[in-house]
């Protein structure tokens, strides 16, 4: 296993303070950063676009289709539906019939961008679990609850702070 240190554009004397902040507010998920190896990757599959939904893609694994982002986060249809504010039925329809569901696109694309940004500063394999874990930074609320309340900008602020090395 290879372990790499996250390098932020900050002075060396602030790094220990940042590490303490992350440990206190984000838990071990944010500090367990490492480079992916070939062993970590799922078998390569060619994603297919859902017709009429720009940026929404499906992958097939063992004969079953799944939304690419849902698979990446390793979430059930129900848990993923909470994040993108659509029903399990809508997700199942898109995954099985490859039919477009316009209600899915906007939140799906924003969640994809957020996950891509979080991938830069945290261990991507833990993101799915992170969305459902209470977080001190949000007064004990889970990130999924923050999204459900329409306060996703608070998550973007967290990404900004982690990228820039700003203390909480």
Which H or E run contains 13?
helix 12-26
pTM of the model: 0.68
What is the residue extent of each domain of the chain? 12-33+121-164, 48-101
Cα dist from 81 to 20, 48, 112, 130, 153, whole Å: 34, 20, 14, 16, 19
pLDDT at 153 (0 to 100): 95
Long-range contact list for 26-30, CB < 8 A, 24+ apart? 26/122, 26/135, 26/136, 26/137, 26/162, 27/133, 27/135, 27/136, 29/122, 29/123, 29/126, 29/129, 29/130, 29/133, 30/121, 30/122, 30/123, 30/162
pLDDT tens-digit profile, the chain (168 residues): 443 334 444 444 444 444 444 455 555 444 444 444 434 445 556 777 776 666 777 777 777 888 889 999 999 999 999 999 999 999 998 888 766 677 887 898 999 999 999 998 888 889 999 999 999 999 999 999 999 999 999 999 999 998 898 776
């Amino acid at each position: 296993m290879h372990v790499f240190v996250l390098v932020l554009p900050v002075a060396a004397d602030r790094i220990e303070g940042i590490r303490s902040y992350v440990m206190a507010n984000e838990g071990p998920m944010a500090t367990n950063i490492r480079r992916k190896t070939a062993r970590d990757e799922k078998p390569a599959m060619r994603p297919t676009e859902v017709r009429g939904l720009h940026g929404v893609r499906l992958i097939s694994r063992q004969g079953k289709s799944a939304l690419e982002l849902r698979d990446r986060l390793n979430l059930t249809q129900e848990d993923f539906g909470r994040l993108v504010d659509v029903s399990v039925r809508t997700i199942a329809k898109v995954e099985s019939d490859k039919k477009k569901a316009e209600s899915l696109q906007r939140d799906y694309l924003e969640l994809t961008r957020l996950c891509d940004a979080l991938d830069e500063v945290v261990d991507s394999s833990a993101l799915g679990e992170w969305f459902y874990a209470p977080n001190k930074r949000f007064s004990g609320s889970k990130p999924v609850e923050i999204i459900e309340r329409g306060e996703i900008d608070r998550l973007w602020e967290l990404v900004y702070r982690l990228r820039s090395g700003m203390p909480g």
